[in-house]
A and B are shown apart, each in its own frame.
Chain A
Amino acid sequence: MPVPHDHEFFVDPSRCIGCQACVVACTECDTHRGDSMIHLEYVDRATSVQTVPVICMHCEQPTCAEVCPADAIKRTSDGVVQSATKPRCIGCGNCVVACPFGVPELYIERAVMMKCDMCYDRTSVGKKPMCATVCPSQALFFGTRDQIRALRPRSKAINQFQFGDQTITTRVNAMVPRGPTAPTHVDVTAAMEERPHNRNLRLPVIDTRDPFAKVEV
C-alpha cells in the first residue's frame, strides 16, 4: 500500500538535541542492512550544541534520479524516492555529488547507493518511520498538516528550496520560525556579563571565491 498522501515528514532542526536516537533506531532496519540512513551533524560543536538531523527530503523531481546514468533511482507514486535498485546501480556516485541536501551515500563494498526511503517497510503498512517515532524531542515528526499546525504554532512548514538557479520542491517539510525574529544565539560569556557585547554566531567562511573557478570544464 502506498504511503498516505496526507502523512508527511516535518523536520525541525531547532528541536534537535543531538541524542542520535534516530541514528541508532535507523540501524535496526534490515532493508539497509544495519547502516544508518540518517546523518546527524553538529553545525559547529566548538561554538554551539546545535545539531541537525538530515533525512532524505524526497524531492518531487529528484536530482539524484535525474543524474543517474543507470536509471536506478525510482520515485514511487506516493512521492517516496527509493534507494537505488541493486541490479541497476553501477556505484558511480553521481547521485552522491548531485544531491543538494547531501543525502545519498555510496557503499563501495556493496557497490550500491543507499539512502533514507522514509522507512518504506513501515510507512507502506500504516506505521510511522522509526526515527520520527522514537525522536525524543520530535525534531523529526511524521503526521498530518493539521497535527503539525496544532502542535507547532510558532513555526511553519516549507518544502521549497532554492539552490542557485534550481528550485526544489520536496515531499518532506522543514519547519522554520514564523515571523521576522531570528532565534537568538545563547552565548555563555555574554550571559555572564552585565552589558554584553552584541555577539553574533559567526560561521566560518571557507573561501569567498567561486570554489569551481579553477576547475577546467
Chain B
Amino acid sequence: MAKLPVDELAIIHAFGPHLSASTRGGTAGAPDKLVKTHCCFCGQQCGIQLKVRDNEVVGFEPWDEFPFNRGMLCPKGVKRYMQGSHPDRLVTAVRRDPAASGGFSAMPYEEAIAYAAREISRLQTEHGNASVGVLSGASLSTEKTYLLGKFARVCLKTPFIDYNGRLCMVSAGAGNMKAFGIDRAANPWEDMIGSEVIWVAGSNVAECAPITTNYIWQARERGAKVIVQDPRITPIARTCDLYLPVRPGRDAALFAGVLGLMIEQGSIDREFVDTHTVGFDAVADYCKTWPVTRASEVTGVPERSLREAAELWGAAKSSFFLHARGIEHHSNGVQNVLGAINLVLASGRIGKPHCGYATITGQANGQGGREHGQKCTQLPGLRDISVPEHREYIASVWNVEERDLPGPGVDAYEMFRKIDAGEIKGLVAICFNPKVSLPDNQFVTRALEKLEFFVAIDFFLNDTARHADLVLPGSLQEEDEGTVTQVEGRIIKINKAVECPGEARADWKIIQDLARALGRPHGFEFAGPREIFEELRVASKGGVADYSGVTYEKLERQMGVFWPCYSHDPRTGAATPDDPGTPRLFEPGSYNPVAKGAGPFYFADGKARFNLGEYRPAVDDVTEDYPIFLTTGRVVSQFLSGTQTRRIGPLVKQYPEPRIELHTRLAAKLGISHDDWTTCETRRGAITVRASVVTTIRPDTVFIPYHWPGDKSPNRLTVAAQDPISKIPQYKVCGCRVRRADAPPAYAADHEPQQ
C-alpha cells in the first residue's frame, strides 16, 4: 500500500522540508574535535574538517592540505554541516499511519525490522524472489553499495537492483568501457595545468563541479585555450576562447563534424591511431557523412566555429577533454560520449602528462558507486553478472553457489515499469528520490502507488519515502565511516564525526538487520565498514576496478589512492603492499591484467576502440506544436533532488525556487517579462515558475533546474526516453511550449519555497 497516507501538505508540515534550525555554527567556543573527512555532496569530494561539539557537527574548518581542493569549498560544502541536528531528522522508524496527523507514526526499531522482514518474506513466498526489488544510490559509500549489491543477490535472491547513477554516470561508463575497456577518469586533474587546449562539453563546471573551475582557469593562466560546448553561457563559458552554442541533443553531430575537419586537415595522430587503436576507418567513413555544412546546420553552431575547434584541437600538442551530463543525459548519450572519445583518440593525446580525458562525476560516489555491484548487470570490480567466470569468482568470495546468483536485472526506470505492470510488488529503497529525479515523474508516482510493500531507508522523509509503508532511520554521511571514489578515480576515506541520533542506525547495520530478520544472515555479519572493505578488496581483485592493494591506512597516509591498486603485481604475482595506485591510466608501456602487456588499453590486444558515435535525433524533439527546446540541470546551491540541500536555510535563500531561464528575444516574442509567472508545457504535463529573462541562453532553448518536487518539478515535463545502451534518461532535451501564466500557481500560496 504505497498511496500517500494523508494529504501531502500534512506530511510536509510534519516532516518537512523545513529549514535548518540554526543559521550558523559560529566560531566562538572551541570544538571537541576536528574530523578530517570529505563533503557529502558532489563527485569532487572536497576535503573538509568538521567541527564537532557534544556529538553534534557545529561547523567546518577548511582542510588546506588535502591535495584536490586545498581548502576550497563551494557554498554546499560550507553549509553541509547544517544537515545534522536538523528538526526533520528521522530519529525513529516511522510507519504509514493514516490516523496520524502527519501520516506516519513512530515504531520501535526492532519491531520495524521484523515488520519489514515479514512483508518481504510474504511477497517472496507468494510471488517469487523477483517480486521484490532494491533501489540504491551513488551517494552511498562504496562499502554500502557493495553490501547492497550482495544483499539483493544473496539475501533477497532477486535480480532487481539498480541505482540512481542510472540517471547520472551510465552513458559515460558505457562509452568508456566500449572505447577503453575501463570506466574511470583517465587522468588526475592536475594534468590539466600545462595542457594547451581544454574542451568542456556539456558541463556547467562552475555550478556543478566548482573546484574544477580553478583547474581549468589555472591551465588558462599557463596559456591553455578553453573551448566550451553548451547551449547556455555558463560562468566557465563567459571567458572561454571558443564558445560552441550547440542546439540541445546534437552533440554527436558536432563531434563527427569536427573530426571530419581534422581528417581533412590531416591533423590526426596517424602513428597513435595505427599502433594503439582499432576502428578508425569506419569512423572516418562516418565523418564523411558529416561535412561541415551539414554539421553546422544540425548543431546550430556556425561553420567558422566548427573549423576553429578543429584547428585548435588538431594543432594542440597537449589537451584535456572534459564532459558531463550535458552530452550524456540523452537517448543518444552513449553515442555522444563515443564521439567525444573519438576526438581524443584521433589526437593521440591520452596517457601522457597534460594529455587527458574525463567525465565529471555528479554524485559523491559517482565513480565508486558504479563499480562494485549495485548496477543491474554488474558484480564487484566492474565485473559482468552475465559472464560465467565473473559469476564463479564472486560466488566463491561470497561462499554461495554460482547457480544461486540471479542473472542481470533491469535499469531503474524499467523497474518502475515493472512495478506499474505488477511484476515487482515490494521495494527496498535507499539514497534515491525518484519522485523528483526521474523523468515523467507523474508516471513514477502512479507506479509507486501500486507497490504492495515499500520500505525506505533514509535520514529525512524524502518526497518518495512519503509513499512508504515503513521508513527505517538511516545514517548521514558524517555518522559512519567508509570510502568513496571521487571524480579523478581517487579512493578516499570518509571519517565518522558523530554517532547516529536516537534509534537511527548506520545503513549497513540496517541492511544486515534485515538480512538477519529474513533468516538469511549468512554473509551479512560484518562488524563494520572496515570488514566490508576487506571483503570488497578480495571481491574486486582481478577485476578491472581492482582495489586489492587499498587499505584504510594507505588511504589516510597518501590522502587517497587511485585505482587500480594491486595487492599482487598482475604480471609477476609478487606481493606489492606498497603499490601507490595508478593516477594516470594508459601510460605507454603500462601493464594491465586484461591486455597482459599487449598495450595500455584494457582489451586483450591492448588497443583502444574507435566507435561510430552516431547522431540520432532526440526523442520528442521540437515540433510545430512544441517548438522550443527544454533542457534541465543544476544550480550551485542545491544538490540532486534536494533532500538535504532544500533543508539548509542559507542554500535555500541563495536560490529559493526553480525559475525558467529564457532569452530576451524569445521572451519578447511571447510577451514574458522578468519575474513573470510562466508556464512550460510538454506532452507529459505543465509547470508554472517565474521567468528569468537573460541573453545567456540560446533563443530557441529554455532551462529549468531540477532540484524541486511536485508542481515545481521540471521532471513533470521531461521525457522517459532512454539511451538503448546505457538506459540513461533524456533529461537534456525535449520539445516544449512556453507562455505567460494567467495566474500564480497554487503552490505559491501554500508551499514554502523549498517544499
Residues of A within 8 A of B (CB): 14-21, 23-25, 27-31, 34, 45-51, 121, 128, 130, 133-138, 151-154, 183, 186-189, 191-194
Chain A residues within an 8 Å CB radius of B699:
188-189
CB neighbours (8 Å) of A14 from chain B are 239
What's the nearest-Cβ distance from chain B to residue A179, in Å? Answer: 13
Are B301 and A49 in touch, CB under 8 angstroms?
no
Q: Are A188 and B59 in contact (CB under 8 A)?
A: no
Q: Which residues of B contact A138 (CB under 8 A)?
A: 72, 214, 217-218
Complex interface: chain B residues within 8 A of A20 (CB):
75, 636-637, 654
Does B237 lie at the interface of the complex (its beta carbon under 8 Å from any beta carbon of A)?
yes
**Which A residues lie within 8 Å of B440 (CB)?**
none
A-B contact pairs, 13 of them (CB 8 A): A20-B75, A27-B650, A28-B24, A28-B60, A46-B695, A48-B233, A48-B696, A134-B74, A138-B217, A138-B218, A188-B695, A191-B302, A192-B698
- C-alpha spacing A49/B228, complex, angstroms: 15
Distance of A153 Cα from B695 Cα, bound (Å)? 31
- Whether B664 lies near A46 (C-beta < 8 A) is yes
For residue A21, give the distance in angstroms from its CB to the closest CB of chain B. 5
For the complex formed, measure the closest distance between the CB of B128 and the CB atoms of chain A, giving whole angstroms.
50
Q: Tell yes or no: B245 within 8 A of A by CB.
A: yes
Question: A46 — which chain B residues lie within 8 A by C-beta?
Answer: 664, 674, 693-695
Give 8 new A-B contacts, CB below 8 A, not counting A47-B696, A133-B72: A17-B206, A21-B75, A28-B24, A28-B60, A29-B27, A134-B73, A137-B235, A154-B221
With CB as the reference atom, state the residue of chain A lying closest to B22.
Answer: A34
**Chain A residues, CB < 8 A from B27:** 28-31, 121
Say if the beta carbon of B23 comes within 8 Å of chain A. Answer: yes
Partner of B214, one of A136, A183, A193: A136
Nearest-neighbor residue (CB-CB) of A132 within chain B: B71
Query: Which of the residues B26, B69, B214, B697 comes within 8 Å of A188, measured between beta carbons?
Result: B697
> Known: A17-B213, A191-B305. Contact between A27 and B74, CB under 8 A?
no
Q: Are B73 and A21 in contact (CB under 8 A)?
A: yes
Bound together, the chains give a CA A45 to CA B661 distance in angstroms of 11
Q: How far is the CA of A47 from the CA of B238 in the complex (A)?
A: 11
- Output the least CB separation between B38 and chain A (Å): 15
Complex CA gap A36/B234 in Å reads 25
The answer, yes or no, to whether B28 is at the interface (CB within 8 Å) is: yes
Closest to B240 in A: A186
Contact partners of A151 in chain B: CB under 8 A: 218, 221
Is A137's CB under 8 angstroms from B237's CB?
no
Are A50 and B238 neighbours in the complex by a CB distance under 8 Å?
A: yes
Question: Across the interface, do B636 and A194 meet the contact criterion of CB distance under 8 Å?
Answer: no
Instruction: Report the bound CA distance from A71 to B152 in whole Å.
Output: 71
Complex contact A15–B233 (CB within 8 A)? no
Chain B: CB-nearest residue to A27: B24
B217 partner residues in chain A, CB cutoff 8 A:
15, 137-138
Contact status A21-B78, CB under 8 Å: yes
Contact A34:B24 (CB < 8 A) given known A19-B636, A186-B243: yes
> Which chain B residues (179-213) contact chain A, with CB distance < 8 Å?
206-207, 210-211, 213
Bound together, the chains give a CA A153 to CA B222 distance in angstroms of 8
A-side contacts of B556, CB under 8 Å: none
Complex Cα gap A191–B245 (Å): 7
Kindly state whether residue B333 has any CB partner on chain A within 8 Å.
no
Q: Which residue of A lies closest to B222 (CB)?
A: A153
Size category, B interface: 35 or more
**Main SS at interface, chain A:** loop
CB contacts under 8 Å to A, within B283-306, are 300-305
Q: Measured between alpha carbons, how far is A29 from B59 in the docked complex, in Å? A: 10
Complex Cα–Cα for A193 and B301 (A):
8
Q: Within 8 Å CB of A48, what residues of B?
A: 233, 238, 696
Closest partner residue, chain B, to A194 (CB atom): B302
Shortest CB distance A88–B (Å): 23
* B214 and A134 contact, CB distance less than 8 A: no
The residue from B69, B78, B210 contacting A25, defined by CB atoms under 8 A apart: B78
Give the shortest distance, in Å, between B669 (CB) and chain A (any CB): 14
Q: Is B62 an interface residue (CB 8 A)?
A: yes
* Chain A neighbourhood of B330, CB < 8 A: none
Residues of A near B245 (CB, < 8 A) are 188, 191-192
Chain B nearest CB from A120 CB (Å) reads 12
- Docked pose: A27 CA to B654 CA in angstroms: 13
User: Which one of B301, B651, B696, B698 has the greatest number of beta carbons of chain A within 10 Å?
Assistant: B696
Kindly list chain B residues whose C-beta atoms are within 8 Å of the C-beta of A24.
75, 78-79, 650-651, 654
Judge if B25 is at the interface, Cβ distance under 8 Å.
Answer: yes
Question: A137 — nearest CB in chain B belongs to which residue?
Answer: B213
Q: Which of B15-52 contact A (CB under 8 A)?
A: 23-28
**B482 CB–A CB distance under 8 Å:** no
| B665 on the A face (CB < 8 A) | yes
Say which residue of A25, A50, A187 sits within 8 Å of B73 (CB atoms). Answer: A25
Pick the contact of A49 from B24, B69, B222, B696 — CB < 8 Å?
A: B696
Inter-chain contact B239/A183, CB cutoff 8 Å? yes
Q: How far apart sit A183 and B637, CA to CA, in the bound complex (Å)?
A: 28
Chain B residues whose C-beta falls within 8 Å of the C-beta of A193 in the assembled complex: 302
**B663 in the interface (beta carbon within 8 A):** yes
Within 8 Å by CB of A133, from B64, B305, B654, B693, lies B64
Which residue among A130, A183, A191 has the maximum number of chain B CB atoms within 10 Å of its CB? A191
Q: Does B77 contact A (CB under 8 A)?
A: yes
Chain A residues with CB under 8 Å of B303's CB are 194
Give complex CA distance A8, B5 in Å: 59
List, in ascending order, chain B residues with CB within 8 A of A34's CB.
23-24, 26
Q: A186, B72: Cβ atoms under 8 Å? A: no
Q: In the complex, are the beta carbons of A186 and B77 less than 8 A apart?
A: no
- Cβ–Cβ < 8 Å partners of B302 in chain A: 191-194
A204 smallest CB distance to B (angstroms): 13
User: B239, A28: Cβ atoms under 8 Å?
Assistant: no
User: Are A136 and B73 neighbours in the complex by a CB distance under 8 Å?
Assistant: yes
Provide the bound-state CA to CA distance between A21 and B213, in Å. 14
Residues of A within 8 A of B694 (CB): 45-47
Query: Which of A19, A51, A128 lies at the interface centre, i.e. has the most chain B CB atoms within 10 A of its CB?
Result: A19
Complexed CA–CA distance, A24 and B76 (Å): 9
Q: Min CB distance, A186 to chain B, in Å?
A: 5
| Closest Cβ–Cβ distance, residue B235 to chain A (whole Å) | 4
Q: How near does chain B come to A121, taking the closest CB pair, in angstroms?
A: 7
Provide the residues of chain A in CB contact with B24, threshold 8 Å.
Answer: 27-28, 34
Distance (whole angstroms) from the CB of A188 to the closest CB of chain B: 5
Best-surrounded residue of A28, A45, A154 (most CB of chain B within 10 A): A28
